[in-house]
Structure 1
Amino acid sequence: MKHSKWRTLLAASMVLSVAALTACGAKTDSAASGAQGKKADFPKKAVTLIVPYAAGGGTDATARALAKAAEKHLGQPITVVNKTGGGGAVGMTEGANAKSDGYTVTMATVELTTLPHMGLSPVTYENFKPVALINYDPAAITVRADSQWKTMKEFLDYAKAHPGELKLGNSGTGAIWHLGAVTLEKGAGVKFNHIPFEGAGPAITALLGGHVDAVPVSPAEVKAQVDSGKLRTLAINDSKPSEALHGVKTLKEETGLTVSVAGTWRGIAVPKDTPDDIVKVLSDAFIKGAGEAEFKDYMKKNGLGIEIKDSKAFAQHLKENNELFGKLIPELGLGKK
């Protein structure tokens, strides 16, 4: 009887132990599943968007329109702050060195893949984690409406006859519109006098004031002045005409020249150590914002192109641009000394 009793107690004990272990395992699995499925507890406060150029340019305009469209999807305000200097290097360096908590994002531009190859910035695309690409725009070679040059051919013929005389304003040494001017210079066999400014906005102001002869900036950045009759765009350096500047032909159509296309793009990036779950929240909000009718209407009205890529596709875009300019810049004689 005793043995029978102990066997019964032992069996009962084993059943209870197995049940306890099963329950514990279920709790552990449930906890693990919950942890894996847990979304980032972000954001809890306003997000700062650094724009590395002056107010008034295409990058600033795109950033402000995007911030307005995206903040309702993010659930918090997005504050735009302009950090100028170094052709974009100052703002992008500050953005790369910000705390990796998602509360400081940067409007990264093509200069992120050009300035390092020129020895003008220690920050490369590898210092960032891409969030989303938003925009792409080609160069629009533009002069004052009352200038003596009515066509691109006349402009280049004058440049050939007067080497180094024509002053082309750009958005900063090593910035994309500087590269755009140099590619035109090399392709056309002419020599310009390159004048740097802290962004396209100040360069356009200088053009309006007669301090420079032309600017190679995006269609969006000159559209208002072209539409009002103050400026005239001579050609678009792209494979197709611009929708923003109706009637303006491409450089090849105007002159027969095939010049390397150097245009600008703009996207959102965060410091490289930012957690992926936070990047996902930001990416979703900014891409949804870029899809808002109000944002798309704003971009179209202001001549800004829209090109959307998610974090993964933007990462590949950054890599390809870095390789492109890593080869192009030394060929143009603008590489590190």
Structure 2
Amino acid sequence: MSRQEGWWRQALAVGLVCAAIVLAQAGMAVAQSYPAHEIEVIIPFDAGGSVDRMIRALAPYWEQELGVPLVLQNYSGAQGQVGFERFYRTRPDGYTIMVGTEPYLSASILRGASYELDDFDILNVQQFDPVAITVPASSPYRTLADLLEAIRANPGRLAWGVEPGGWDYVVGNLIFDALGLDVIEVFYDGGGPLRVALMGEQIDFSLGSAAGDMAMGDRARVLAVSGTKPFPGWPEAEVLNEALAPYGVTVPNLGSVRFVAVHASLKEKYPDRYQTLLRTYEAALSNPKFIERSKESGVELVTQFVGPEESNAQVRDANAVVNQFKEMFLGQ
């Protein structure tokens, strides 16, 4: 080999090493710059519902922590399954996250969705909102007993509004079946349309969520709330099982489990991105301005940060209850 050939080979080797260093540094810069651009948030329900309002209230404060915009997109349909499917098929790179609620996620899996519960990692169950039985403010019914007796006296005449596939649907049917009551079911694909119908007196009553129904203000009245103690946001509402006790009926203490989720593979593939999302999310929830806004709207009563471990456990518990009542979900 000539001296000139040796020189060229040495120069080529040095050039390759330099190129490798530059590429490595560029890769590190990309990794360190997350998020480098906007993040999409998939909302599997219509605008105006409880899940939609939950993330829209938090988004400005989370954006401050992330330093990039959150693009909120509603993909409603099939009781949340359209949005769940869309999220499932996006790249698991931390640039798409999802908000959702149980039992809708588990119910969609029960009905044969292409994803499984293990495909989702729950960053946090942000809200646990108990089931509420609500009437328009102008309704003549002041107590749950008033409503139940009116249904009994007018079989097949009173209409109740509900989102199919939710705990409110389960609780309502358990009560009506136990008491042999005949009511007209009116289904709504989201809490927003349901509340509009109730305030417009298109239905006689609804089963929804206690904090969610606070969005209606003085245009609605909650008669009863699930749980073991009165709900502070509706101080005149009865505890549901206490109101049902004279009828010899007891129903499970259920409520909407509203969460923020990422792809299950994100934590392993991009641990730094996962931690960035989790850290900034928790910081946004702790923002004093967000807390004040939550107090004003009433959702502070059901808002929490319990973290991924507890949140994933709560969602799996909800999944077990869905399977316990699977006939109701499959029969819709």
- Does TM, scored on the shorter chain, surpass 0.5? yes
Which residue of structure 2 lines up, in the alignment, with residue 240 of structure 1? 229
Counterpart amino acid of residue 204 in structure 2: D
Which residue of structure 2 lines up, in the alignment, with residue 85 of structure 1? 77
User: Is residue 304 of structure 2 the alignment partner of residue 334 of structure 1?
Assistant: no
User: Is residue 96 of structure 2 the alignment partner of residue 104 of structure 1?
Assistant: yes
Structure 1 127/250 Cα, relative in aligned 2: closer, same or farther at 3 Å? same
Contact 1:138–1:264 (CA<8 Å) still a contact in 2? yes
Deviation at 1:298, TM superposition (A): 2.2
Deviation at 1:235, TM superposition (A): 0.9
**Aligned pair partner of 1:181 in 168, 172, 180:** 172
Which residue of structure 2 lines up, in the alignment, with residue 157 of structure 1? 149
The correspondence of residues 194-209 of structure 1 with structure 2, limited to 5 A, is 194-209=185-200
User: Is residue 108 of structure 2 the alignment partner of residue 115 of structure 1?
Assistant: yes
Which residue of structure 2 lines up, in the alignment, with residue 212 of structure 1? 203
Which residue of structure 2 lines up, in the alignment, with residue 255 of structure 1? 244
Structure 1 297/116 Cα, relative in aligned 2: closer, same or farther at 3 Å? same
The correspondence of residues 16-27 of structure 1 with structure 2, limited to 5 A, is none
Counterpart amino acid of residue 246 in structure 1: P
User: Is residue 228 of structure 2 the alignment partner of residue 231 of structure 1?
Assistant: no
Contact 2:129–2:212 (CA<8 Å) still a contact in 1? no
Return 5+ residue gaps in structure 2 as ranges. Answer: 1-23
Deviation at 1:165, TM superposition (A): 3.0
Deviates more, 1:267-276 or 1:140-149: 267-276
Deviations 1:114-133 (A, max 9, x none): 3323x164434222122222
Deviations 1:128-167 (A, max 9, x none): 1222221110112111122231210011122233344322
Q: Secondary structure at the match of 2:222?
A: strand
Contact 2:123–2:261 (CA<8 Å) still a contact in 1? yes
Q: Secondary structure at the match of 1:138?
A: strand
The correspondence of residues 27-38 of structure 1 with structure 2, limited to 5 A, is none
Structure 1 317/222 Cα, relative in aligned 2: closer, same or farther at 3 Å? closer
Contact 1:89–1:120 (CA<8 Å) still a contact in 2? no
Deviates more, 1:247-256 or 1:186-195: 186-195
Which residue of structure 1 lines up, in the alignment, with residue 184 of structure 2? 193
Distance 1:69 1:258 in 2: 41
Deviation at 1:188, TM superposition (A): 4.4
Deviates more, 1:94-103 or 1:162-171: 162-171
Distance 1:177 1:88 in 2: 15
Distance 1:179 1:294 in 2: 36
Deviations 1:11-70 (A, max 9, x none): xxxxxxxxxxxxxxxxxxxx9xxx9xx976421111111111111121111111121221
Contact 2:132–2:168 (CA<8 Å) still a contact in 1? no
Contact 1:98–1:104 (CA<8 Å) still a contact in 2? yes
Structure 1 232/71 Cα, relative in aligned 2: closer, same or farther at 3 Å? same
**Aligned pair partner of 2:314 in 299, 313, 317:** 317
Deviates more, 1:245-254 or 1:61-70: 245-254
**Aligned pair partner of 1:169 in 161, 164, 167:** 161
Which residue of structure 2 lines up, in the alignment, with residue 17 of structure 1? none
Deviation at 1:261, TM superposition (A): 2.1
Distance 2:31 2:231 in 1: 42
Query: What CA RMSD, in Å, does the superposition of the two structures yield over aligned residues?
Result: 2.4
Distance 1:329 1:185 in 2: 18
User: Is residue 213 of structure 2 the alignment partner of residue 222 of structure 1?
Assistant: yes
Counterpart amino acid of residue 168 in structure 2: W
Structure 1 335/299 Cα, relative in aligned 2: closer, same or farther at 3 Å? same
Distance 2:291 2:43 in 1: 20
Counterpart amino acid of residue 179 in structure 1: V
Contact 1:97–1:271 (CA<8 Å) still a contact in 2? no
The correspondence of residues 293-312 of structure 1 with structure 2, limited to 5 A, is 293-304=288-299, 305-312=302-309
Deviations 1:60-102 (A, max 9, x none): 1111112122122222211211111111111111112111111
Q: Secondary structure at the match of 1:260?
A: coil
TM-score (norm 1): 0.80
Return 5+ residue gaps in structure 1 as ranges. Answer: 1-30
Deviation at 1:176, TM superposition (A): 3.5
Distance 1:286 1:91 in 2: 21
**Paired residues, number:** 296
Q: Secondary structure at the match of 1:114?
A: helix
Which residue of structure 2 lines up, in the alignment, with residue 128 of structure 1? 120
Distance 1:128 1:146 in 2: 43
Q: Secondary structure at the match of 2:133?
A: strand
Contact 1:138–1:262 (CA<8 Å) still a contact in 2? yes
Deviation at 1:183, TM superposition (A): 3.4
TM-score (norm 2): 0.81
Contact 1:40–1:278 (CA<8 Å) still a contact in 2? no
- State, as a whole percentage, how many aligned pairs show the same letter: 25
